[in-house]
Structure 1
C-alpha cells in the first residue's frame, strides 16, 4: 500500500523541483512563453474551427488544457493544446454524435489517460515502430490539409469522410463566390513562405493572419469570418452523461485517449531531444500521461476539446529558450489575455486565413528528409510507412496504428525467419568429421515462422549415417520450432540416420522436453557398449563427433 501511495504521489502531484532553475531562467521562459502564445493563437483558432466545434473551443482548450498539462505533466518544456491530429479524430465524432458529445468523450478519454499513467503504461509508446509513426504523421498532415478545403469552398457534405468532403467541395464549388477566399489563402501562404526568409524571429503565421484580416476589412472582400467569441472563460461544470449513450461513446473515447497518449509522449520525446535534457530533466512518461489526461478533463468541463502535447509549439518553445514549465504557463496566459481583451478583434479573422495557416502547417509536417530515409531503409519499411499513411487518410488513425503495428510485426517475423539457416560443416572448430558423419549448425531463431522453411529445403547426403546438429547458435526457440525439429528427427531416424545434438542451451531444455524431442534421440549402440549413451545430446562438438564416428564404425 505504501508503494502504491508513493507512486500515486509521484505521478499525480506537482513538485517544487519542477521549477528548479526558474529564478535564473525566468526571462528566457517569459520570452519563450510570449512567442509560443503568439504562434499558438492562429493554430488554436484554426483547429477549433476545423474540428467543427468553433474557434472559441480551440482557444479555450489552449488556455485551460495548456496550463493544466504544464503544471501536472511530466515534461518541463512541453506545450499542450488543440492539435491537428486530434482534430482529425474529432471531425467524424462531431458529425456522428454532435458537438455536445465531445465534452463527454473528452471527460472519458481524460480519465482513461490518467488511469494509464497510474498503471505505469507510459513506456509502451517506445515500442511503436518508426515507419508506423512517420506514416501516421504523413496521414495526419494529408487529412489536415484536406480538411481546410471545405472552409475555403463551403459546400454541403456529410462530414463522414475528409476525402469525400474535400472532393465534393472542389467539384461543386461556386468559383465566382470562392475567389475572394482564394485571394486570402494566397496572401497568407505567400507571407508564411517568404517572410521567414527575410526576417527571422517573427511569427509569420500571426503576421499573415493580421495582414489578411486588414485586407478583408479594407477591401470588403466577401469571405466568412470567425464571428463572435466569448469574452471570458465558461464556468466549469460536468457534462451531462447519459448512461444509455455511454456504451456508444466508449469507442470514440478510447480512440481519443489513445491518440492523446501517443502524440503527447512522442512530442515530449522530441522536446527532450531538442532541449538536450539530462536524464534528471527528461520527461516522466507516466506523469505526462496523468497530466495530459487531467488536462482533457479540465478542458471538457469548460466546453473545450481534448488536448495533446503539440509538437510544433513545443519545438518553438524549446528553440526560443524555454527551460522550465513557466514558459508553457505564460503561453496559456497570453491566450487568456486574448480571450479577455481581444475577442472583438479576433472575431474578424477570415476563416480562409486560418485554413491557409493550417495548410502550410500540414505541408511542413512532412519532412522530405524523413521520407527519403524511409525509402532508403528498404521495401519493408517503405511498405509499412505507405500503408499506415493510406489507412490514416482512408479509414482512421487508430486503425492505421493497429494495421501498421501488425504489418511491422509480420515483416519483422519474416526477416527473422529468413535470417535462420543451416550452415554445413564444422568450419572454424578444427574438427574434421569422418566419412558418414555430417555436421550442421542451426543459426538464428527456431520458431514457428522459420522452422518449416528451414527444414523443408534441407537434404542429407546419401552417404550420411550420423547427423550432428549444432544448436548453440539458436537464439530463440518456441514449441513450434521444437516440434518441427522433432518431426524431422523422426524422419531421419526412419531413414536409418542417427541424430546427435550438440550445445542445447539450458533455457531451451523445457521447450525441447515439451515437444518430446529427448525421447526421439535413440542410441544404436548396444547397451553394453562403452560409448552407449541414452541422451544423444553433447556439450562439446569433439565429443559428439567422436561418438558419431563410433556409430559409423559399428554400422
Structure 2
C-alpha cells in the first residue's frame, strides 16, 4: 500500500516520446496560471506574492507526489473563498499554520484510504457547489472593480451589496473600464486564435493601458524577487485549538476539489487512470510545503488542468515545467508584474467565474427530477450565503434523504393470491411478497396487509423474501419482531426464499429463532403453501410443533 503512494519510474513512462509536448503544455499552462495565481492570492487576502509562491512550490510537489499524471495544482478560487474569512478573523500570521495543518489532514486522508470517498458525492451537489463558488468569486471582485475597499468582517454577498450602494462612481468608471477591457480581450482573442492566452493578454494590455494613460488605480505592488526562506510557524496550544476547525474545512475542500479535478482529467487525458489516495497524499504534501514557504493551501485546479491536457500533456513533466515557468517570473519579472492593476485581476476572475458555470449542465439538472433540482439549488444557496463545507454536507444529507425516500417508495408489501385451484381454508393463509428494500417503515405495511377488511381471519402467514433486494440490520430486526408478535397471537409464520446474502443477517438478529420450527423456513413456494395447508387441516393446537 505505502509503495503505491510513493513516486517511481512508472510515473514517467513514455516520457521519451512525449517530452516535447509536455514542455509545450507546461509553458502554456504556466502562462495561463500566472494571472490566476496572482488574482487568487489577492482575493484570499494573503497577497499576490503568496499566490505566486503557492503555484511554484505546491505545483511542483503535487506534480511529483500526486496521483494524477496531468493534474496542475496551485491556488484556486474555492480555496481563496474559504481562506479569506480565516485571514480576516485570525490575521495573516495564521495562514502558514492553518495551511500546514490542513496539509497534514489531507495526507492522513490519503494514507487511510479516504481518496475514493469523492465518488459518493452526488452530481447535483458538485454542480451546486461549483455554481456557488463561481458566484462568490464574482462577488469578491466587486470592490476592486468599483475602486472600493471591501468591508471587513462581512460575508461576500452583503459586502458586495454595500460596496455597490456606496461606490464613488466618478472613480469607479476607470476601474470598470479596465475590467471591461480585460473581459473583452479574454473573450475575443481566443476566437482569433486558440493558442492566444486571453487572460495573460488581457492583464498585459490593461497594465500597458494604465501606464500609457495615467490612471489612479491600485496595483499589486512590490513582489519579492526570490523565493522566501522556508520557516516553520510557531505553534502553541491556543493557536491550534482556534485554527483546528478552519484547517479541517480547508482540508475537506482541498480533498474534494483535487479529487474532482483529477477525476475530470482522467476522462480527458490518454494518460491512464489516477490514484485517488496518492493524489490526497501529494496534495497534502503540496500544502505543507506551500505553508513552509509562506504560501497558501493548494488544490488541483480544474481550469489549469484542462488547459494542460488540451495542450498535449502526457506526463508529470508538464506540471513541473509550469512551476519552473512561474519560478522564472519570481526571479526575472517581479518588476513588471508589480505594476498590474488590481482591477485587471478582478476582470480575469470575473470572466473565470462565468466560465466555471456550465449552462447546459444546469438545465439538465433542473429538468431532471425535483429532488435533484432542489439539492442543486440548496447547495448553491448555502454556499453563497453561509459556508462552503457546510454546503457540501447539507447537499449530501439532502441528496441522501431523497435517495432513501426513493428506495422506500420502491419497496412494497404485496398480498398475493395463492396459485392454483382454491381449497377450503385458503382464505386464512396470507401470502406476502416483500419487494425492494426492507426498512423499519415496512412493519406497518406488513401488519396492515395481514389483517384487512377482505381477510378478517388469518391463521398462517407466508413471507416471500426472494424478491427482497436490500436488507439492513434495522429491517431484519423489524422482521424478527413481526414474526415474534404474530407467533404470540397464534399465527404461524413461514419464511420462503431467503437469499444467500441475507441469511447470516437474519440468523444473527433472531428471525429464524422466532419461528416455531425449522420446517417453517422453506425454499419454494409450493413447499410453503403445502406446509401452510397442513396447519389448517390439523388445527392450530396440533400444529404447534410442526
The Cα offsets for residues 481-511 of structure 1, whole Å up to 9 and x where unpaired, read as 2344345446655776543221133544454
Residue by residue over 1:346-381, the C-alpha shift from the partner in whole angstroms, topping out at 9 and shown as x without a partner, is: 111111111111111111111112112212321111
Q: Which stretch of structure 1 is more off in the superposition, 377-386 or 116-125?
A: 116-125
**What does residue range 149-298 of structure 1 map to in structure 2 within 5 Å?**
149-153=142-146, 154-278=148-272, 282-298=273-289
Equivalent residue number for residue 401 of structure 2? 410
1:76 maps to which residue?
Answer: 69
The answer as to whether partners of 2:413 and 2:442 remain within 8 angstroms in 1 is: no
Q: Of 370, 387, 402, which residue of structure 2 is paired with 1:396? A: 387
CA contact (8 A) 1:25 1:323 kept: yes
Match of 1:320 in 2: 311
The superposition leaves residues 520-553 of structure 1 with CA deviations (integer Å, 9 ceiling, x where unpaired) of 545xxxxxxxxxx564222111011112223333
Shift in Å at residue 192 of structure 1?
A: 1.6
- 1:113 touches 1:257 (CA, 8 Å); kept in 2? yes
State the 1:517 CA deviation: 4.0
- The residue number in structure 1 matching 2:351 is 360
Aligned residue for 2:462, secondary structure, equals strand
**What CA distance in whole angstroms lies between the structure 2 residues aligned with 1:490 and 1:296?**
58
Q: Structure 1 396/450 Cα, relative in aligned 2: closer, same or farther at 3 Å?
A: farther
Which residue does the alignment assign to 1:552? 536
Pick closer, same or farther for the CA change 1:441–1:295 going to 2, 3 Å. same
Query: Which one of 81, 92, 115 corresponds to residue 99 of structure 1?
Result: 92
- Partner residue of 2:40? 47
Structure 1: which 5+ runs fail to align? 1-6, 523-532
User: Which of 111, 115, 124 is matched with 1:131 structurally?
Assistant: 124
Give me the whole-angstrom Cα distance separating, in 2, the residues matched to 1:503 and 1:184. Answer: 73
Partner residue of 2:467 out of 465, 473, 478: 473
CA contact (8 A) 1:36 1:316 kept: yes
Displacement of 1:191: 1.6
Q: Residue 64 of structure 1 is aligned with which of 32, 57, 69?
A: 57
* Counterparts of 1:360 and 1:102, CA distance in 2: 27
CA distance in 2, matches of 1:365, 1:295: 24
Match of 2:544 in 1: none
Task: Indicate the residue corresponding to 2:542 in structure 1.
Answer: none
What residue ranges of structure 2 are gaps of 5+ in the alignment? Answer: 540-546
Contact 1:448 1:478 in 2 (8 A): no
Q: Aligned to 1:543, which of 524, 527, 532? A: 527
User: Secondary structure at 2:141's aligned position in 1?
Assistant: helix
- How many residues of Structure 1 are paired with residues of Structure 2 in the alignment? 533
Distance 1:433 1:141, change over 3 A: farther
- Compute the displacement of 1:271 (Å): 0.8
Structure 2 residue 325 is matched with structure 1 residue 341: no
TM-align CA RMSD: 2.2
Q: What is the CA deviation profile of residues 176-225 of structure 1, one whole-angstrom value per residue up to 9, with x for unaligned ones?
A: 12110111111111222222223222111111111111111111122111
* Secondary structure at 1:23 match in 2: helix
Aligned to 1:299, what secondary structure does the other structure show? helix
What secondary structure sits across from 1:76 in the alignment? coil
Question: Normalising to structure 2: TM-score of the pair?
Answer: 0.92
Partner residue in 2 for 1:526: none
Note if contact 1:518-1:535 (Cα within 8 Å) is conserved in structure 2: no
